[in-house]
Amino acid sequence: MVKEASDKALRIAFQGESGAFSEEAISKLFAEKATTVPCPNFDDLFAAVPTDRADYALVPLENTLAGHIPACYELLYKSELTIHGEVVLPIHHCLIGCRGATVEGLRAVQSHPVALEQCENFFRQHPQIERTAAADTAGSTREVLERGDASVAAIASEYAARVYGGAILLRNLEDYPENFTRFALLGRGKPAGGGDKWSLVVKLQHRPGGLCAALEPFARHHINLLNIVCRPIKGQPWEYQFFIDLSTSGAEGNMSIAMKELEGAVEELRVLGTYASARSAAEQQ
């Protein structure tokens, strides 16, 4: 939860149109009302805070089915923004159509490619329905309802259906119920208070055992490795950066020692943020 000493609503940027899963995540993260700022793409999203169009940006980093989102990790590396918090949103896909539409009467369904891929069972059960890839889930809902064609539907969230007034024809279309997206809240400067989670990016020393040397201090000081992502460094062929998420829960006093040891084991080190994990943040509410 991010709080500022101001009566002014925080401006939170997100990628997509109104009704997107990202906008729903903003409503979950902020107990008080926030003003949402839609951005057409990830480049525009990461530019929203530096250009003062928003106070924070909510950025998707990974989905439990689709995996990590490479574009966001690369932009995070290039950006000077830091992670101030995170939120995990359950992803439930709905089939949304015009009033009076029926599943039997559909000839096409449109949505973001990832959403379509996560609903394979539905399309196997309805082979007559053509799938159409679109820019995002919420935009698909808006377009379907604006056209008013009862033979076309969208796959999006229940939140999107409420925003645009669509009829929910089916709920929980996703193949696997264990479908979650983790979002990071990015802002300027250092986060106000620490937390039980650290996010780092490192460039390893180019030698045998470089990755082992970088991770060993955390194992020795009982700091749990939550996530590691390897991404190529653009412009530097065959060189890579590693994004690392760590939990200091139960070992808070050991982190400073481990970080000093890490500095001597890697070529480059940058702290992306220290913040409350989504689980601990939920427990504090």
Please identify which of the residues 14, 183, 218, 243 carries the catalytic annotation: 183
Instruction: Give bridge partners of residue 230 from the DSSP assignment.
Output: 242
Which residue in this structure is represented by tokens 């056209």?
147
Query: CA angle, 61 as apex, 264 and 161 as ends, to 5°?
Result: 165
Among 184, 101, 173, 102, which Cα is nearest to 137's? Answer: 173
In the numeric block, which tokens belong to residue 122?
Answer: 């539905």
Please identify which of the residues 36, 137, 181, 274 carries the catalytic annotation: 181
| Distance separating alpha carbons of residues 263 and 269, to the nearest angstrom | 7
Among 177, 160, 62, which Cα is nearest to 118's? Answer: 177
Antiparallel, parallel or unpaired: β 56-63 and 11-15? parallel
**Could you report how far apart the first and last alpha carbons of the chain are, in Å?**
8
| Distance separating alpha carbons of residues 106 and 96, to the nearest angstrom | 11
In the residue annotation, 51 being an active-site residue is answered as no
In the numeric block, which tokens belong to residue 80?
Answer: 């000077």
Among 224, 178, 175, 187, which Cα is nearest to 76's? Answer: 187
Which residue in this structure is represented by tokens 């460094």?
233
In the residue annotation, 183 being an active-site residue is answered as yes
Contact 187, 56 (CB under 8 A): yes
Which stretches does DSSP call E strand in 29-144?
Answer: 35-39, 56-63, 67-68, 82-90, 94-97, 108-111, 130-133
Residue 3: enclosing H or E segment and its boundaries?
A: none
Q: Indicate which residues carry an active-site annotation.
A: 181, 183
